[in-house]
Structure 1
Amino acid sequence: MSVKDRVTRIIADQAMMETAEVTPDKTLEDLGIDSLGLVESIFAIEEEFDIQVPFNANNPEESDFDISSVAAIVAAVESLVDQQSA
């Protein structure tokens, strides 16, 4: 299963939606994921990929982890996974 598929599944689970409904262009807000859901998603992503996400829940706009869309989250996770395996 690809990083994209795994991240999409985590986000879909958090949004209580089918994975097909979680498209790359959607924002977490579009999917009905609030700040608590975002934090839970970040924890699930960290656990799934055994990575540390540089995310400040108190100040997400100052984070190095782009949460602007599903595609941005996937790209950020792929980058972290690549860095970890390097």
Structure 2
Amino acid sequence: MDLREKVIAIIADQAMLEPADVMPEQSPADLGIDSLGLVESIFAIEEAFDISVPFNANAPEESGFDISSVGAIVAAVERLVQDRHAAA
């Protein structure tokens, strides 16, 4: 399972959907994920990829982590994983 598939699987699990039903252009809200579910997804992503996501649930627009769509979340996780490998 590649990074993209893993992130989508985590989001799909939170939305109680099959990964095939999660499209990159959908927002977490489109998938029925509320703010608590989003935080749980972020924690699961951090654990799965051993990264620290710069996300503030109280001010998500200020966190620098794009949660506007599934595709944006995948891209942000890819950047964080690349940055972690570059720093290692």
In structure 2, runs of 5+ residues without a counterpart are none
2:27 aligned counterpart, secondary structure: coil
1:31 is matched with which residue?
Answer: 31
Provide the aligned C-alpha RMSD in A. 0.4
Rounded Cα–Cα distance in structure 2 between residues aligned with 1:23 and 1:44 = 19
1:61: Cα distance to partner?
0.9
Rounded Cα–Cα distance in structure 2 between residues aligned with 1:62 and 1:85 = 25
Aligned residues: 86
1:2: Cα distance to partner?
1.1
Rounded Cα–Cα distance in structure 2 between residues aligned with 1:81 and 1:62 = 20
In structure 1, runs of 5+ residues without a counterpart are none
2:23 is equivalent to residue 19 of structure 1: no
1:60 is matched with which residue?
Answer: 60
Superposition misfits of 4+ residues, deviation over 6 angstroms: none
Identity of aligned residues (%): 70
